[in-house]
Structure 1
Amino acid sequence: MKRHIYIATLACTLILGLNAQAQQSPEPVTESSYTVDTADVRKAVEFLASDALKGRDAGSPGIEKAAAYIEQVFAENGIKPYFSSYRDTLDNFKEPAFNVVGYIEGNDPGLKDEFILIGAHYDHIGVLDEGEGDDFIANGANDNASGTTAVLELAKYFGKSKSNKRSLIFALFSAEEKGLLGSRHLARKLLTEKLNLYTMVNFEMIGVPMTADYTAYITGYEDSNMADRMNEYAGKELIGFLPKAKDFQLFKRSDNYPFFLEFDVPSQTVCTFDFTNFQHYHKVGDEATLLDTEHMASFISEMIPVMKKMANAETDEIEFVSE
């Protein structure tokens, strides 16, 4: 009799435990159920662009705090270090400086050896000699805490969903403001390792909306079909052409460019700064309070299915346009 009672009690305990586990297990993250939280976006840009980080100059104590923050987000969301640690020390900068690089392996045996690199620079220009009033800190909220936040939000989604067939690298670059040094270093390093890079998508200055029929523009618009594919994946005119981006050769002025040079694959930057909608480029006025975090959250949410479809396309659909 005691044995029967024991077995019954054990069975009840197991059932209750399984029920409790079922209640605690989060719902699977799916593209349709996932939206980027504006509060999370605001929290990220406010921290990255806070005075405590002193403008995130490459090699400074302030950018060290930003790196630690990025590493924590990666670790909490299942993003593994790509190298032996998240930190990839630059070999082309005199001060100790490093990129922060994580990845998620693809879930398709045939496609996981192809990589998409999703990047942004997380450095800025630090403390200026000439400020405005008693403010000398160039906080770099739009440039480029905004792009950094986009990469972190995409990492959070894919880290939770594990829905990518191709492998994804999430790279936050240092010393962009010193001449694209972080991305130059990483592009050369990955080429030496013979990384099979499918394409590179870079996020730069997405903190304020444009007044246009599209949400963002892409540099090098005419050189590849990336914009067309992104719009197809989005089901709307999400990405457009900005003539000034061509006039000012922005394709060559952000962290996409070293990957284009080294790998000869479509490598482009997505941006919403159109030279008229933000007056604080490289000034102390580039503060988090001026960013439109609802716009940012909405745009990043729209980029999630775009990047997912890019990662899961059965063939290499992103390609150069023949002249």
Structure 2
Amino acid sequence: MIKRLLSILTVSALLISCGGTEPMVEKPAPSIFEFYNTITSEGLKADLSVLAHDSLEGRETGKPGLDKAARYLAGRYKVMGLKPVGDNGSYFQEFDLDQTVFESVTYNVYDDNEYLIDGSTHSAEEIANFTTLIGGEQSLKGEAVFVGYGLQNEEVNQFTDDVAGKWLVLLYERGYSDFGALRSYIGEGKAVGAILIMGTDVESFTQQAERMQGEFNEGGGLSLSYLNEGNEEFSSAINRINPELAAKVLGFDTVEELDGMAEELKAAPAEFEAYDLPFVFEHSPKVEQRIVKSKNIVAFMEGSDPELKNEVVVLSSHYDHVGIGAPDSTGDTIYNGADDDGSGTVGVLHAAQAFSAAKAAGAGPKRSVLFLNVSGEEKGLLGSRYYSDHPIFEVENTVANLNVDMIGRRDFEHPDNPDYVYIIGGEIISSGLNDMLKQANEESVNIELSDRYNDLEDPNQFYRRSDHWNFGRLGIPFVFFFNGVHEDYHKASDEIEKIDFGALTKRTQLLFATTAMVANAAERPEVDNQVFIEKTQQQPR
């Protein structure tokens, strides 16, 4: 009886066990490409609301607002679990910038007997008969030569070869005078600098001089300190002269007479020949040199493939903007740069977040990925230049750069169509990278990939105008995602309220999908456009 009961219980237990438990089936790991759908408008808006807020004061390089943005980005990457690969185990790659601060500039004009005929000083307290438009960090003194409108072409040459050590005085009209030739005579011809007569409107000159008073003691342009070490190169100046003094220098009693001469010269430009002026011009600045600290943000995800993880795909954006500037019609002085490049920065941030989700689900990228937010783009691509000269991962192992700068708006060409993005790079440097981009687009958002600006001869030269260039110049294939220029470019009105979050979401999803495609490809994309290779050799930045 007991044996029979045990047998019944055993069989019953087996029946219950077999009937109550599903057979163990191993589920396949998800594909990395599925995770582009984790990028949402709501998430992008939440982060952009922070980066484009007035409290960051326009995120200008070297200012406290940019440091706030850097700390915020580092905190977000830390929450994602991405590895800090910056200085001392941080998310920051720090670097120094040189800045020249003008306290004043004194301008003197002497006749050929060295008698002072005019002297004036431009500073925060007073205006002078000159303003300095470009350069002018060193003391300069020299004789002068009048070169008309500064024209040089196949039919007309108003310059002279005898310009070394002299100032080039000219009637300057934007779009008519040859500024390129002018710079060439200053650089290669060793002229001291240029003195521009920009029309005969004295009030216009005075207004500009008064506006520029606010620039004294505030700091001017920035340059990378390591590039300036041991650099004793001559610094020229391009100055503007008060039309009344210009008339006197050219031998006229009034600006009306100067205006008449300008019209005659313009009517017969080929008849003009450059001639020396009986004056010496002196430019004497009082300057202070400052060191400005800045930093790039660097967050890293190691690839899953034991071999391919040694290769790196770099996603980049610039998180700086232009800071505080002239008030607009509403009185707003804070240039928040919601599109430029707040949109690209949150794009990189949310691509990183999608990769973190994919890796947590066992679908991480095979190659490693570096998420790079650079500073100093608005000052001359400084942060990306620093990274490319001080790469955390070897240039030889950097397989591609995907750069995003302004991806949250529509341009003048697409007022009713948000489903596009301009592609710059790709096929003009690497056909393989272009194929990966197109496949990623077809398998994800399937938006229009416009090649309108993707031309090495395009006059806008967008292929050199954002941070991808500092990778391209080293022979690294790149794709630059860009929504085109709009009416709020570099204005206080570039606000978050004008962002098209639907467009921003799709472009960010495409950024993720393209990165995943490159990171998981069997072969890395190669530079195969010989024209681009020659161009980078001819035009180093």
Question: Which interval holds the TM-score relative to the shorter structure?
Answer: 0.7 to 0.9
Q: 1:119 to 1:249 in 2, by over 3 A?
A: same
Give the counterpart of 1:270 among 455, 467, 481.
481
Residue 421 of structure 2 aligns with an amino acid whose one-letter code is A
* Most deviating of 89-98 and 150-159: 89-98
- Residues 95-126 of structure 1: CA distance to partner in whole angstroms, max 9, x if unpaired? 11101111101110110111111000000000
Amino acid at match of 2:451: F
**CA-to-aligned-CA distance 1:117-165 (integer Å, 9 cap, x gap):** 1000000000004443321011100100000011001111112212111
Report the counterpart of residue 243 of structure 1 in structure 2: 453
- Over residues 165-216 of structure 1, what are the superposed CA-to-partner deviations in whole Å (9 max), with x where a residue is unaligned? 1111100000111100000000100189555110111001001145279621
Separation (CA, whole Å) in 2 of partners of 1:315 and 1:244: 24
Aligned-pair CA distance for 1:238: 4.4
Residues 318 and 153 of structure 1: CA distance in aligned 2, closer, same or farther (over 3 Å): farther
Is 2:282 aligned against 1:282? no
- Contact 1:143–1:281 (CA<8 Å) still a contact in 2? yes
Matched residue count = 293
CA distance in 1, matches of 2:398, 2:391: 9
Structure 2 residue 410 is matched with structure 1 residue 202: no
The CA deviation string for residues 57-83 of structure 1, in whole angstroms up to 9 with x for no partner, is 011111111111111110011111122
CA contact (8 A) 1:82 1:169 kept: no
Q: Map residues 1-323 of structure 1 onto 2, 5 A cutoff.
A: 31-32=33-34, 34-83=37-86, 84-91=89-96, 92=224, 94-162=291-359, 163-190=364-391, 193=394, 196-209=397-410, 211=414, 215-221=420-426, 222-225=428-431, 226-235=433-442, 236=446, 238-243=448-453, 246-261=458-473, 263-273=474-484, 275=485, 278-317=486-525, 319-322=527-530
How much is the aligned-residue C-alpha RMSD, in angstroms? 2.3
Q: TM-score, normalised by structure 1?
A: 0.84
Going from structure 1 to structure 2, the CA distance change for 1:147 and 1:179 (only over 3 Å counts) comes to: same
| Secondary structure in 2 matching 1:280 | coil
Question: Secondary structure of the equivalent of 1:102?
Answer: strand
Asked whether the 8 Å contact 1:218–1:227 carries over to 2, the reply is no
Call closer, same or farther: CA 1:178–1:213 in 2, change over 3 Å. Answer: closer
More helix by proportion, 1 or 2?
1
Considering fraction of residues, name the structure with more strand.
Answer: 2
User: 2:332 touches 2:492 (CA, 8 Å); kept in 1?
Assistant: yes
Contact 2:38 2:354 in 1 (8 A): no
1:267 Cα deviation from its structure 2 partner: 2.3
| AA partner of residue 112 (structure 1) | K
Task: Give me the whole-angstrom Cα distance separating, in 1, the residues matched to 2:393 and 2:82.
Answer: 23
SS in 2 for 1:116: strand
Matched letter for residue 229 of structure 1? M
Kept in 2, the 8 Å contact 1:214–1:239? The answer is no
What does residue 15 of structure 1 align with? none
Structure 1 stretches (4+) deviating beyond 4 angstroms? 27-30, 191-195
CA distance in 2 between partners of 1:316 and 1:229 (Å): 10
- TM score, norm. by length of structure 2: 0.51
Structure (1 or 2) with the larger CA radius of gyration? 2
Unaligned runs of 5+ in 2: 1-28, 97-223, 226-290, 532-541
